[in-house]
Amino acid sequence: MNELVLTLGWLGIYSPMALGAAASAVGCAIAGQASIGAMLESEGGYGRFVGISAFPSTMVIYGIVIMFTLNREVTPENAGALFGVGFMSGIALFYCGLWQGRACASAINASREKPEIFGLSLAPAAIIEGFGVFAFVFALVISAGIS
Protein backbone atom coordinates (compact mmCIF):
# COMPACT_ATOMS: atom_id res chain seq x y z
CA MET A 1 0.00 0.00 0.00
CA ASN A 2 2.86 2.36 0.84
CA GLU A 3 4.32 1.86 -2.65
CA LEU A 4 1.02 2.85 -4.24
CA VAL A 5 0.89 6.03 -2.16
CA LEU A 6 4.47 6.91 -3.12
CA THR A 7 3.75 6.15 -6.78
CA LEU A 8 0.80 8.53 -6.72
CA GLY A 9 3.08 11.20 -5.24
CA TRP A 10 5.58 10.78 -8.08
CA LEU A 11 2.74 10.77 -10.59
CA GLY A 12 1.60 14.08 -9.13
CA ILE A 13 5.04 15.60 -9.57
CA TYR A 14 5.33 14.70 -13.25
CA SER A 15 1.66 15.02 -14.30
CA PRO A 16 1.71 18.79 -14.89
CA MET A 17 4.62 18.51 -17.30
CA ALA A 18 3.22 15.49 -19.14
CA LEU A 19 -0.33 16.82 -19.39
CA GLY A 20 0.95 20.31 -20.24
CA ALA A 21 3.05 18.85 -23.06
CA ALA A 22 0.07 16.88 -24.35
CA ALA A 23 -2.07 20.02 -24.14
CA SER A 24 0.45 22.07 -26.08
CA ALA A 25 0.83 19.39 -28.73
CA VAL A 26 -2.90 18.94 -29.23
CA GLY A 27 -3.71 22.66 -29.09
CA CYS A 28 -0.91 23.62 -31.48
CA ALA A 29 -1.93 20.82 -33.85
CA ILE A 30 -5.55 21.99 -33.94
CA ALA A 31 -4.54 25.61 -34.53
CA GLY A 32 -1.78 24.59 -36.93
CA GLN A 33 -4.18 22.65 -39.12
CA ALA A 34 -6.42 25.72 -39.35
CA SER A 35 -3.34 27.81 -40.11
CA ILE A 36 -2.33 25.59 -43.00
CA GLY A 37 -5.83 25.77 -44.44
CA ALA A 38 -5.85 29.55 -44.11
CA MET A 39 -2.48 29.87 -45.83
CA LEU A 40 -3.81 27.94 -48.82
CA GLU A 41 -6.62 30.43 -49.24
CA SER A 42 -4.70 33.65 -48.48
CA GLU A 43 -2.26 35.71 -50.50
CA GLY A 44 -0.18 36.82 -47.50
CA GLY A 45 -0.06 37.34 -43.76
CA TYR A 46 1.12 33.81 -43.14
CA GLY A 47 3.18 34.78 -40.11
CA ARG A 48 0.17 35.81 -38.08
CA PHE A 49 -1.48 32.43 -38.71
CA VAL A 50 1.64 30.56 -37.61
CA GLY A 51 2.00 32.84 -34.58
CA ILE A 52 -1.54 32.15 -33.45
CA SER A 53 -0.89 28.43 -33.85
CA ALA A 54 1.83 28.61 -31.20
CA PHE A 55 -0.39 30.12 -28.47
CA PRO A 56 -1.17 26.78 -26.74
CA SER A 57 2.56 26.04 -26.34
CA THR A 58 2.59 27.96 -23.05
CA MET A 59 0.79 25.12 -21.24
CA VAL A 60 3.92 22.96 -21.31
CA ILE A 61 5.95 25.83 -19.85
CA TYR A 62 3.50 26.17 -16.98
CA GLY A 63 3.60 22.41 -16.46
CA ILE A 64 7.39 22.31 -16.34
CA VAL A 65 7.53 25.09 -13.74
CA ILE A 66 4.87 23.35 -11.61
CA MET A 67 6.82 20.09 -11.88
CA PHE A 68 10.00 21.74 -10.63
CA THR A 69 8.07 23.45 -7.84
CA LEU A 70 6.57 20.12 -6.70
CA ASN A 71 9.83 18.19 -7.06
CA ARG A 72 10.87 17.01 -3.59
CA GLU A 73 11.25 13.82 -1.62
CA VAL A 74 8.00 11.88 -1.78
CA THR A 75 6.82 10.55 1.58
CA PRO A 76 3.54 8.95 2.64
CA GLU A 77 2.71 12.24 4.37
CA ASN A 78 3.05 14.47 1.31
CA ALA A 79 2.19 12.04 -1.52
CA GLY A 80 -1.52 12.84 -1.50
CA ALA A 81 -0.92 16.57 -1.68
CA LEU A 82 1.64 16.17 -4.47
CA PHE A 83 -0.78 14.00 -6.42
CA GLY A 84 -3.74 16.29 -5.88
CA VAL A 85 -1.99 19.52 -6.81
CA GLY A 86 0.05 18.04 -9.66
CA PHE A 87 -2.60 15.91 -11.30
CA MET A 88 -5.41 18.42 -11.03
CA SER A 89 -3.29 21.33 -12.28
CA GLY A 90 -2.18 19.06 -15.14
CA ILE A 91 -5.80 18.33 -16.02
CA ALA A 92 -6.57 22.06 -15.95
CA LEU A 93 -3.61 22.77 -18.24
CA PHE A 94 -4.69 20.00 -20.59
CA TYR A 95 -8.18 21.38 -21.01
CA CYS A 96 -6.86 24.93 -21.40
CA GLY A 97 -4.47 23.84 -24.16
CA LEU A 98 -7.13 21.84 -25.97
CA TRP A 99 -9.73 24.61 -25.92
CA GLN A 100 -7.18 27.31 -26.60
CA GLY A 101 -6.19 25.44 -29.75
CA ARG A 102 -9.82 25.38 -30.82
CA ALA A 103 -10.22 29.09 -30.05
CA CYS A 104 -7.08 29.84 -32.06
CA ALA A 105 -8.39 27.78 -34.98
CA SER A 106 -11.60 29.81 -34.90
CA ALA A 107 -9.61 33.05 -34.79
CA ILE A 108 -7.54 31.93 -37.77
CA ASN A 109 -10.61 31.01 -39.78
CA ALA A 110 -12.42 34.24 -38.90
CA SER A 111 -9.47 36.51 -39.63
CA ARG A 112 -8.87 34.76 -42.93
CA GLU A 113 -12.33 35.83 -44.05
CA LYS A 114 -12.26 39.24 -42.38
CA PRO A 115 -8.66 40.39 -41.69
CA GLU A 116 -9.72 43.53 -39.80
CA ILE A 117 -10.96 41.43 -36.84
CA PHE A 118 -7.58 39.72 -36.36
CA GLY A 119 -6.74 41.27 -32.97
CA LEU A 120 -10.25 41.02 -31.58
CA SER A 121 -10.58 37.40 -32.67
CA LEU A 122 -7.73 36.49 -30.31
CA ALA A 123 -9.70 37.53 -27.19
CA PRO A 124 -11.20 34.08 -26.50
CA ALA A 125 -7.76 32.45 -26.73
CA ALA A 126 -6.36 35.09 -24.36
CA ILE A 127 -9.16 34.47 -21.87
CA ILE A 128 -8.44 30.75 -21.93
CA GLU A 129 -4.74 31.55 -21.38
CA GLY A 130 -5.84 33.38 -18.25
CA PHE A 131 -7.46 30.23 -16.93
CA GLY A 132 -4.20 28.36 -17.51
CA VAL A 133 -2.37 31.09 -15.59
CA PHE A 134 -4.89 30.77 -12.73
CA ALA A 135 -4.21 27.02 -12.50
CA PHE A 136 -0.47 27.70 -12.68
CA VAL A 137 -0.49 30.31 -9.90
CA PHE A 138 -2.81 28.22 -7.74
CA ALA A 139 -0.45 25.24 -8.03
CA LEU A 140 2.56 27.37 -7.13
CA VAL A 141 0.85 28.89 -4.09
CA ILE A 142 -0.50 25.58 -2.81
CA SER A 143 2.78 23.74 -3.41
CA ALA A 144 4.56 26.10 -1.04
CA GLY A 145 2.61 24.55 1.84
CA ILE A 146 3.50 20.93 1.01
CA SER A 147 6.26 19.52 3.22
| Amino acid code (one letter) for 136 | F
Q: Where are the domains of the chain?
A: 2-143
Q: Kindly report the CATH number that applies to the domain delimited by 2-143.
A: 1.20.120.610
pLDDT tens, 64-92? 999 999 999 999 999 999 999 999 999 99
17: confidence class by pLDDT, cuts 50, 70, 90: very high
112: confidence class by pLDDT, cuts 50, 70, 90: confident
DSSP letter, residue 56: G
Q: How far apart are CA 3 and CA 9, in angstroms?
A: 10
